[in-house]
Structure 1
């Protein structure tokens, strides 16, 4: 039985036939809906130069949503340290934490947030990919600036995002809670969790290991409807399998007509089997197994489906099923 907090990752998909402005408006309604449902936190991901995902800075979405909600925790999942000056990140999230005490997180990641090498270099003022040592120095600098120079009052809660053993080792060495990207690299999840716990060193930020697991979760009343809802994201993933990163986020009708190859169908089915897609009972059972297998302290659900109402309904079905199981 899932008996740990449920949270959400907002990827801010820009749906075919809509504008980025519509997606921005939906983020507010989405956060307010999840707050009413009792979800613990929402994180905003950093992406750039994608037709399917809005290039909305996590710090801006966090600030806007904090002003339009009352108690749900908010933050980045993640803000990508190599793209930003550490002092700027500390100032931004430190200010938000002072304005909204005990509600702000800063989840830090490493990737560029884009598959376009030119955009990645532009974000980093011409610099190439960051090294392990540079990334660690960036994260340590953010933490130091938060405590030494910003410190306006309550601090944001820092997390490190990880999808590899190297990320797990860094989170463990710095004594930070870790958010594992099971929705991106599920084959690495158990090794990441095990490495993190084995190497964890307590710190003022986190006295014991804390693991949050991010799972792609699409829930509907029937398996067929869940499959229909997840199909648009399958189209985007199929493009990525071919090295194509400019696939728009299609409607369910367009996705149903998409000509997947046999190899793509096999790869997508394998990925979906490691996530949580289906009826409320199926989803709750899969989340329960994942939590047991990893010892997760919290589950973060990402639900990339077309239409805000369908997305909120998915979260409502999961919460209702889990809530019923807890009684």
Structure 2
């Protein structure tokens, strides 16, 4: 049996008919509930200009949650380096780590956090997509500023997010723990892990390879209920398959009436088979299977359903059966 720590990625979905403010108000209660359940950490993702996801800066959400909890680790999963000056990220997360010692993570990613080109350019003050060399320089600068400029006490733990072998190679080169985006590109997971472990160089940040695997997960008392809860996210994913990125996050009832094409159904089924959706017993069995296959040191669960009660219940059911 594989039993490793469980954590959570908060994506802050905003369901049709509600306000982003409603989602924002739920974040502190969500952190309190997961701390009560014994989850190791919560990370907050950076997104922009999406009708389905709140544009809430990870450092702000982390600060808000840290003020209402006492033990759970908090951080970014991830903050997107090309959108920010490296010294600003170092100052923000260095300050947060000083205020909440040994509780703060700085997960760094590369993407723009939006599918809207104008928004991406605005975030980067008119610059185009970052190159591999520029991204490497940004990450290295963040690490340097953390140590040399803003070390106020305990430093945040840096992680690098990776969904491709190139990202894995950078994490290995810099000696960083890696967070593998299995919930985004499961087809790349094996190659990411192989490169990361083969090329890892010890550093002050980690003496050995350290892997966190992020998985899309929904657990409910019945298979039917779990499928009902995940269907709104299926609608959003089906839109992305067609290059449509501005689809609102529907309610479960709206999603139940959504017609999928046969190619969409096949693509969604293939993706879902790599994740964990169903009864708690089935979800926990799948998580243990993934942990065994990948050798992950930690599993991070992302549960893209809107209702706070349904999300917390999913995490509660998983923790109960995982520890049984």
CA distance in 2, matches of 1:306, 1:71: 25
In structure 2, the residue matched to 1:308 is: 308
In structure 2, the residue matched to 1:149 is: 149
In structure 2, the residue matched to 1:102 is: 102
Where 2:246 maps in the other structure, the secondary structure is coil
In structure 1, the residue matched to 2:36 is: 36
| 8 A contact 1:291–1:299 mirrored in 2 | yes
CA distance in 2, matches of 1:35, 1:246: 33
CA distance in 2, matches of 1:169, 1:7: 24
C-alpha deviation, 1:177, in angstroms: 0.1
User: Which ranges of structure 2 fall in alignment gaps of 5 or more residues?
Assistant: none
C-alpha deviation, 1:2, in angstroms: 3.6
CA distance in 1, matches of 2:167, 2:88: 22
CA distance in 2, matches of 1:59, 1:172: 25
Where 1:87 maps in the other structure, the secondary structure is helix
Tell me if 1:21 matches 2:14: no
Residues 220-244 of structure 1 deviation map (CA, whole Å, 9 limit, x = unaligned): 1111111111100000000100100
Tell me if 1:292 matches 2:305: no
CA distance in 2, matches of 1:224, 1:151: 50
Matches within 5 A, 1:248-287: 248-287=248-287
In structure 2, the residue matched to 1:135 is: 135
CA distance in 2, matches of 1:60, 1:138: 21
Where 1:301 maps in the other structure, the secondary structure is strand
CA distance in 2, matches of 1:2, 1:60: 34
In structure 2, the residue matched to 1:231 is: 231
C-alpha deviation, 1:285, in angstroms: 1.0
Tell me if 1:242 matches 2:242: yes
User: How many aligned residue pairs are there?
Assistant: 324
In structure 1, the residue matched to 2:212 is: 212
CA distance in 2, matches of 1:198, 1:250: 43
C-alpha deviation, 1:92, in angstroms: 0.2
Where 2:323 maps in the other structure, the secondary structure is helix
Where 1:150 maps in the other structure, the secondary structure is coil
Tell me if 1:75 matches 2:75: yes
Residues 152-197 of structure 1 deviation map (CA, whole Å, 9 limit, x = unaligned): 0000000000000000000000000000000000000011011100
CA distance in 2, matches of 1:232, 1:308: 15
| 8 A contact 1:78–1:161 mirrored in 2 | yes
In structure 2, the residue matched to 1:6 is: 6
C-alpha deviation, 1:150, in angstroms: 0.3
In structure 2, the residue matched to 1:178 is: 178
